[in-house]
Amino acid sequence: MTPQGIDNGGIVGEIFSSFQGEGPLVGRRQIFVRTAGCNLRCIYCDTPRFRSRLDICRVEDRAGSGRFRQVENPLSPEIVMDLILRLRSPGLHSVSITGGEPLCQPEFVEALAIGCRAAGLPVYLETNGFSSTRFSRLIDWIDFAAVDLKLPSHQASSPEGRNELVENELTCLKTASRFGVFTIAKAVILNSTVPAELESIYPRLEGLDIFMVIQPASGEHRPDPKKLMRLHEAASMYLDPEKVMVLPQVHRMMDIL
């Protein structure tokens, strides 16, 4: 069951300060608000414990300390904003609202994004883009949007729902690009991924002002480097080559959250 916000409250898994570990903003200091609950089931998911509703959210007590305390869900946007401001530190780039899947709790995430904007904190939304309608509701309040492209090899949804999912993801990317949001399309590449899965999407991204992140999985799902080379070359035929990159999860290499 997908968790929903309760009376404008949200189900949050953790709130902490760290570095962005993926894509073109890698290494930027962010405060992460990880919502709990996701409507998809990707085989490579690196945060499986945040797929479902949680009764407890863990909150870092001081930026970069690695020490956490527990608070009970649901949390109001006002409480979360207070927790965010307590973690504010020099060099902070933005607040990353991630998951789980933030679009599963649109009212809560919108209120949180508005609160961040009022506090002068840029908002970085990371989403699987399953609902372009919910995404559009947030567009006025986000500064950075990272949208995952779910491929057949990810087994994220049923085969019957795959086309609808991709169409929503593409619409999210088009909306973000059109509104001048710093837009990132990300595709995780597995050893089981067939290049055509992503190559068929590239032509539909042509003309958009986006970064294309080809993210190789690690561990048992790690792909052949030759596959990454092919996918990079194919993407560069349709998108600005200066904005096409192959980059793994750097935070995993650094062993940080």
Q: Where are the domains of the chain?
A: 12-249
In the chain, % of residues over pLDDT 90: 93
Q: Give the model's pLDDT for residue 4.
A: 46
Distance of CA 254 to the CA centre of its chain: 19
Provide mean pLDDT across the span 132-157: 98
Cis status, amide bond into 5, omega within 30 of 0: no
Q: What confidence score (pLDDT) does residue 8 get?
A: 61
- 62: Cα within 13 Å, side-chain hemisphere: 1
User: For position 5, what pLDDT does the model report?
Assistant: 44
- Whether residue 74 is preceded by a cis peptide bond, meaning omega within 30 degrees of 0, is yes
pLDDT attached to residue 252: 77
pLDDT at 194: 98
Sign of the torsion angle spanned by Cα atoms 131, 121, 215, 202: positive
Terminal C-alpha separation, the chain: 26
Give pLDDT tens digits for 46-104: 899 999 999 999 999 999 999 999 999 999 999 999 999 999 999 999 999 999 999 99
pTM over 0.85: yes
Angle (deg, nearest 10), helices 106-118 and 77-86? 40
Amino acid in the structure at residue 31: I
CATH topology of domain 12-249: TIM Barrel (3.20.20)
- Given this model, what pLDDT does residue 107 score? 97
Q: Are 50 and 36 in contact, with CB atoms under 8 Å apart? A: yes
| % of the chain at pLDDT higher than 70 | 97
pLDDT beyond 80 at 6: no
What value does the mean pLDDT take over residues 34-42? 97
